[in-house]
Amino acid sequence: MNRNKWIVLAVGIVLLTGLSAVALNLENTSGPEPGMGSNGAMDDSQNEQNTTAANNENAVSENGGTMDGDLNISASGDEQHEFDDPQREAEIRQSAEELVTAVTLPEAEEQPTEASLMAHSRLYYQFLERINEGYSDESIDQDAEWTAGELYTWLEYAESEFAFDFDAESYSAFIDEGTDPDEAGEDEDQSLMILFEVIEEAYGSTMLQRQQDIHYLEPFIRSQITEEVIARYGDHDEDEEGAFMMIQETIFERMSQRYPELVDQ
């Protein structure tokens, strides 16, 4: 599953480079097409499209959503993670409680470590296997190792190249802002909240934070190094996407060196 992400990333980089070249060529060789006049069909169509887009944007704003469809797995308020089916919610909570009771987690650390990332990544995929009928336990180890390896590579890279210093309070504030890095579906969103609650009830807030690393550590690191990444790798002051694409390539190269058995699988 995670290897496919890297394959998609590599293909995306190639396509993005090609499309950028084509767009630049068209911009240099083509002028703007003239309209059909102030009362023409083309102007009317354009006005109608602009009006529709504005109305849609206003509707999204009024409903408190975002144009890119981001979800919020950390928003305050119990209504954010209540299931429509109370029986399903009870089943998921029971699965989470049984799992957390059955596994042995390492002692809670104040910051993420390679061992903690591996343990909590495995717990997460075990949780998915329990609550999702279509999830195979055969892929638990592979998915957990890849996720933990990728996150630890991000952490080491940020520390060595950008002087990143993990701060628990800043991290907690980042999580409380309510950003959902996984863009999880509604049911997975609610299930994660239940898992978080069960872990906090059983182990406390520090262990909860180590579980949240699986979902929030990478976006938190990104948020802390964005300006320097753009300054170092971006083509212009707002080229965040392009700059982080280059970072992803570096992360993959480092993973290949540190975890060759994962990359070669």
Residue ranges per domain, the chain? 85-263
Question: What pLDDT does residue 3 have?
Answer: 52
Residue numbers of the chain with a pLDDT score lower than 70: 1-82, 134, 178-188, 237
Question: What pLDDT does residue 122 have?
Answer: 96
Question: What pLDDT does residue 241 have?
Answer: 87
Question: What pLDDT does residue 11 have?
Answer: 47
- CA 226/CA 210 separation, integer angstroms: 23
DSSP classification of residue 105:
P
Spatial neighbors of 178 by CB under 8 A, at least 6 apart, are 72, 73, 74, 75, 76
Among left, alpha and beta (phi > 0; psi -120 to 50; other), residue 64 is left
CA distance readout (Å), 196 to 24, 140, 193, 205:
47, 19, 5, 10
What's the whole-model pTM score? 0.68
- CA 44/CA 42 separation, integer angstroms: 5
Question: What pLDDT does residue 194 have?
Answer: 96
Spatial neighbors of 34 by CB under 8 A, at least 6 apart, are none
Q: Report pLDDT digits (tens) over 23-69.
A: 444 444 444 443 444 444 444 444 444 444 444 444 333 433 333 33
Spatial neighbors of 122 by CB under 8 A, at least 6 apart, are 140, 141, 144, 148
CA distance readout (Å), 137 to 11, 22, 80, 143:
29, 45, 29, 10
User: What are the structure tokens assigned to 202, written together?
Assistant: 């059983």
